[in-house]
Amino acid sequence: MPKLKEECGVFGIFDHAEASNLTYLGLHALQHRGQESAGIVTSDGVNLHKHRAMGLVSDIFSEDVLAGLPGRSAIGHVRYSTTGSSQTKNMQPIVINYFRGALSIAHNGNLTNAKTLRDELEGEGAIFQSTTDTEVIVHLIAKSKEEKLVQRVIEALSRCKGAYSLMFLTPEMMIAARDPYGFRPLVMGKLGDSPVFASETCAFDLIEAEFVREIEPGEIVIVDEKGVESFKPFGEQKHSYCVFEYIYFARPDSFLTGRNVYQVRKSLGKQLAQEHPAEADIVVAVPDSGVPSAMGFAEETGLPLELGLLRSHYMGRTFIEPQQSIRNFGVKLKLNAIREVLDGKRVVIVDDSIVRGTTSRKIVKMIRAAGAKEIHMRISSPPTKFSCYYGIDTPIKEELIANSLDTDEIRKYITSDSLGYLSMEGVMKAVNSSKNVNGKEHFCNACFTGKYPVELTDQKAKINQLKLFGE
């Protein structure tokens, strides 16, 4: 089983006349969480109906397709994965028909003991259809001897470690579940009397649903015709909200744990300006994700914000590179530097993070080629040194430039005149600038610090195995 990293978004709506239409709109609003495939499963009270395909939500779901998804309840999923080929078999929501009827599941997150559980299940004769860790949960539910679905779900989740924000759908019932650490977001709202669930509040805005509250870490919420019921079977844990959702992943208009994401990002930029000011003429953002922090940086420093990099919004899946190689081709398709803005200027470039460093290097070179006199790169997060195992698609740590180079070596590699990363303390100041938390909230910052809140079972097993074989 190849290591599978995924980014995803989930949505659910219970007992509404237009369940499939609204789920499709909800997924459209969550499209930024996964652009590779999407799917919707509906319940008409007796059967489940599904449609899943590779591609964008708006390409997959036509009026005809939605008309073929009848019923008053629905869950949906958008997904991005880094495994090479288009993996249609890994599309979600998963739907199975087992002894006790039909069951569908949509998952955002990554289990850290998926491989270990899978080996055990397969040893007992279980046949897997996909390579997703989500299917492990399905098999655990199918094997449970408990009578009630919620008990089977609890039994199954009690064996799973890691990150999960889950939506389940059966013909009669919907279940939302979030792991005890709360790595990935999951919010609850209502549209009229219908309960709705989503990874982010921006999905509620589009369908005009009202935000009610976050699903709490470790909470399992069951919705059926009798109403909404909440369980907390796993006891208390120190929360580990993912800080990277605020830095990069979530949509700027979303509201997570009481914070507006755009405002957090602007604060990150202001904090960054305080920690790493620059003698410069203009501030330029790397669009789109660097824009809010560049606005904060410009506001804090008083330097003018200029559109020095233009982003193309007509990106397709792949582009054919001519044989006469084009300098910085991959970046150039997406970004163009405006010479008239940059020529002769000392430029501050603001971006949210540096992963492998190759894109930053191309951007710096492109800006230099457009005439910039000095280039000061500013990053609104600490150096990304460690891989995420909880649902953000970062490469293995060997590919992370900050894992092997220090800041000045990175600066040399990307060829900028200076480079400043925001400190971990600075991040937390910005995150908490708009909310008085009294130290009650905790965040996972493993990608910056290497402190993993939940044991990496599969990863360890692999390391041990490698040791055994002397590798």
**Which residues are catalytically annotated?**
8
Rg (CA), the chain: 23
CA-to-CA dists, residue 449 to 81, 401, 403, angstroms: 24, 15, 11
Q: What is the nearest approach in angstroms of a copy of itself to the Cβ of residue 448?
A: 25
CA-to-CA dists, residue 417 to 205, 283, 399, angstroms: 42, 15, 23
376 in helix, strand or coil?
strand
88, 172, 315, 404: residue in contact with a copy of itself (rule CB under 8 A): 315
A 10 A CB-CB count for 238 gives 11
148, 232, 238, 317: residue in contact with a copy of itself (rule CB under 8 A): 317
Which residue, 42 or 445, is less far from a copy of itself as judged by CB? 42
41, 198, 207, 220: residue in contact with a copy of itself (rule CB under 8 A): 207
Which residue, 28 or 178, is less far from a copy of itself as judged by CB? 28
Q: Which of residues 2-41 bind a copy of itself (CB under 8 A)?
A: 17-18, 21-22, 24-25, 28-29, 31-32, 35
Give yes or no for residue 319 binding a copy of itself (CB under 8 A).
yes
Q: Which of residues 384-443 bind a copy of itself (CB under 8 A)?
A: 434
Which residue, 337 or 427, is less far from a copy of itself as judged by CB? 337
Closest to 173 measured CA to CA, from 231, 122, 221, 239: 221
Which residue, 41 or 400, is less far from a copy of itself as judged by CB? 41
Q: Where are the alpha helices (DSSP H) in 415-456?
A: 424-432, 446-449
Task: Return the residue matching tokens 């509201």.
Answer: 255
Angle (deg, nearest 10), helices 457-468 and 114-123: 80
Of the listed pieces 45-53, 157-165, 246-254, 269-277, which binds a copy of itself according to CB under 8 A?
Answer: 246-254
Which residue, 144 or 359, is less far from a copy of itself as judged by CB? 144
Distance between CA atoms of 155 and 257, rounded to whole angstroms?
Answer: 28
Distance between CA atoms of 360 and 380, rounded to whole angstroms?
Answer: 14
Long-range contacts of the stretch 48-54 (C-beta < 8 A, 24+)? 48/95, 48/102, 48/103, 48/104, 48/169, 48/170, 48/171, 50/93, 50/95, 50/104, 52/77, 52/91, 52/92, 52/93, 53/91, 54/86, 54/88, 54/91
Q: Which of residues 141-160 bind a copy of itself (CB under 8 A)?
A: 142-144
List the Cα angle 311/316/321 in 5-degree steps.
Answer: 90
Paired strand residues for 190? 195, 210
Q: What is the nearest approach in angstroms of a copy of itself to the Cβ of residue 215?
A: 21
295, 347, 349, 454: residue in contact with a copy of itself (rule CB under 8 A): 295
Q: Which two tokens stand for residue 457?
A: 């079972």
Q: Are 328 and 369 in contact (CB under 8 A)?
A: no
Give yes or no for residue 313 binding a copy of itself (CB under 8 A).
yes
Give yes or no for residue 46 binding a copy of itself (CB under 8 A).
no
Q: What is the nearest approach in angstroms of a copy of itself to the Cβ of residue 344?
A: 14
Q: What is the nearest approach in angstroms of a copy of itself to the Cβ of residue 123?
A: 6
Of the listed pieces 180-188, 232-240, 324-332, 439-447, which binds a copy of itself according to CB under 8 A?
Answer: 324-332
Closest to 197 measured CA to CA, from 214, 181, 182, 180: 214
Q: What is the nearest approach in angstroms of a copy of itself to the Cβ of residue 168?
A: 15
Q: Which two tokens stand for residue 182?
A: 């709360």
Give yes or no for residue 342 binding a copy of itself (CB under 8 A).
no
Q: Give the per-residue contact string, 351-390, with a copy of itself (x = CB under 8 A; - = no).
A: ----------------------------------------
Residue 67 main-chain phi, psi, to 5 deg = -65, -25
Residue 191 main-chain phi, psi, to 5 deg = -120, 105
Q: What is the nearest approach in angstroms of a copy of itself to the Cβ of residue 310?
A: 4
Which residue, 50 or 178, is less far from a copy of itself as judged by CB? 50
Which residue, 338 or 405, is less far from a copy of itself as judged by CB? 338
Q: Give the per-residue contact string, 112-131, with a copy of itself (x = CB under 8 A; - = no).
A: -------x--xxxxxxxx--
97 in helix, strand or coil?
strand
Q: Which residues of 268-286 are buried (b: 16+ CB within 10 A; e: fewer)?
A: bbbbbbeebbbebbbbbbb
Which residue, 241 or 255, is less far from a copy of itself as judged by CB? 255
45, 46, 47, 58: residue in contact with a copy of itself (rule CB under 8 A): 58
Q: What is the nearest approach in angstroms of a copy of itself to the Cβ of residue 226?
A: 24
Q: Which of residues 248-287 bind a copy of itself (CB under 8 A)?
A: 251-253, 255, 260, 262-263, 266
Q: What is the nearest approach in angstroms of a copy of itself to the Cβ of residue 294?
A: 11
